[in-house]
Amino acid sequence: MLPCLIFEDEHLLVVNKPAGLNTHAPSPHAGEGLYDWLRHRAARWARLAIIHRLDKETSGVMVFAKTPLANRSLTAQFTAHSIHKQYLLLTDRPVGQGELTVKSALVRAGDRYVSRPVHQGAKTAETRFRECRMQNAECRGSGGCRMVEAEPLTGRTHQIRIHAADKGFPVLGDTLYGGTPAPRVYLHAAKLTLQHPASGEELSFQAPTGPDWPNTPASGPAEASEDRRREVGPFPFLALREALIEPELTDAYRLIHGASDGWPGWYVERLGDFLLSQSAQGLSQEQREELGRLLRVSHSNPRSTRRQSGLTFPSADYASSARGACHKVLTRLVRRTAQAEGSPQWVLGDTATERFTVRENGLQFELSFREGYSVGLFLDQRDNRRRLLTQHVAADFPLLPAASGNEPWEMLNTFAYTCGFSVCAAKAGARTTSLDLSKRWLDWGRRNFQLNQVDPTGHDFLYGEAFDWLRRLVRKQRLFDVIVLDPPTFSQSKESGVFRAEKDYGRLVTAALPLLKSGGVLFASTNAADWPPEKFLADVDAAIHKAKRTVLQRHYVPQPPDFPISRAEPAYLKTVWLRIE
């Protein structure tokens, strides 16, 4: 069960949306919003409908409709304002009154909205505020943060944020409306009460604030230094991971993704019992301290509870988890870097054994910090590996035709590395062929098969250059149900010379297509950061058209949510699933 899931039945899906994730994708090739990520994750969610929205930096209760009945009923309830919504906000300004109601007309002005007096023909926005005196008593004397309940009686864009600012207590972190800079906008949809669309029963859903919610008073506006702002939210990046990563199934994911998580140029991954830090230079003192703090925390414990503003929520109790951390200096000159120099260097805590295992989607994979630049698993492909494991690509896009039943299917994994894609396909019943230029990686892949109780002798491991083996397999008249193309951005071999993704990807697709069955699925991927997704997709389409094949289905996927995309940290990974006639 996903940690963000609050409730689900035949008609409703209710979740606790984390801050930092859009409700839906802002553009076709941007990062997935929560709606997109959920809708394509499971077949039973393929018909999800958006009923209401939360801003990207707002967290809390969201309800989606799963049936036409639920869609009609919830839409009518929201339109009639019969759904009761309760928000919590933090501010570092005096609230002034215990309770107040704000009513105004909202008018768009560029990228923000402004309040205007209520006038005929205008859409009115109305919000009730109540200061949470019990929670604020301890920090009032220090000029710290204050918690306020907000009840929107209407549902206008940015309504709570504008009205709070109008009354002199803007939401902490809401710089668009005059709030003090902070790791996030501290606005949380804490409670939602509605009538069930089928039974008519009144239901209330509550969502806890996450580990990005302050536990200590904040500084006033004049004291909001960068160091102090970091203290406001203990770990602003954890909430998103804790909402979407199932800890029982997965303990390998990205914790900090550069500028998107407030740390430009720095990347940290959780790999089982260890943390892997990466940047273009050695660790700064601030990064070292943050890494030390991360060693001491883990996922929240949902079995204990705490009280907040009269509501009972799961407690965010942290326990020691990671044992040690190492740091790797990123370089573009990987081929010229010696194995010892390219390997991560230990900086904190215990060191790992030569080989250790991590969990991903319920499977195990062997990793090593002593094998050079790469540790054995590329975490940004986790969701795509899951698509092979579950045989579900996206809404209305099963991996295999329904008529295939339980018949064995075949997958070709080119540039297989340590065979992560192959392991997932094999666990789903495929007979796999893994192709790589390195015998060492293929042997590593065989061990990954064994870790997951799959006999590698029932699968093929081909050592050699990709284009050469593709030609051989065509001569042998081999055909595959699924072909995975995930080449490095740059590679070089004696047989085919230099391969550059932006220049040669079309040639790779052309070489692979004769091996794909009619109705089979081609997975094409590249991490060439400077290659626009539109150009990548156009080159793939051109190769398919040139081969006189037709695309029947298409699903484009950017990098997963723990690799968040932002203007400061643009997307680099581009992947597309194609069913081809």
Are 308 and 135 within 8 A, CB to CB?
yes
Are 232 and 218 within 8 A, CB to CB?
yes
Question: Residues with Cβ < 8 Å from 333, sequence gap 6 or more?
Answer: none
How far is the C-alpha of 13 from the C-alpha of 38, rounded, in Å? 10
Kind and range of the H or E element at 569?
none
Distances in Å between the alpha carbon of 154 and those of 52, 103, 494?
12, 10, 67
Residue listed under structure tokens 């000159």: 333
How far is the C-alpha of 235 from the C-alpha of 237, rounded, in Å? 5
Kind and range of the H or E element at 5?
strand 5-8
| Pair of tokens at residue 579 | 């069913």
How far is the C-alpha of 119 from the C-alpha of 252, rounded, in Å? 55
| Pair of tokens at residue 264 | 């430009």
Kind and range of the H or E element at 140?
helix 133-140
How far is the C-alpha of 107 from the C-alpha of 79, rounded, in Å? 20
How far is the C-alpha of 354 from the C-alpha of 271, rounded, in Å? 14
Q: Name the residue among 64, 52, 65, 75 with its Cα closest to residue 15.
A: 64
Q: Partners of 490 in the beta sheet?
A: 500
Residues with catalytic roles:
55
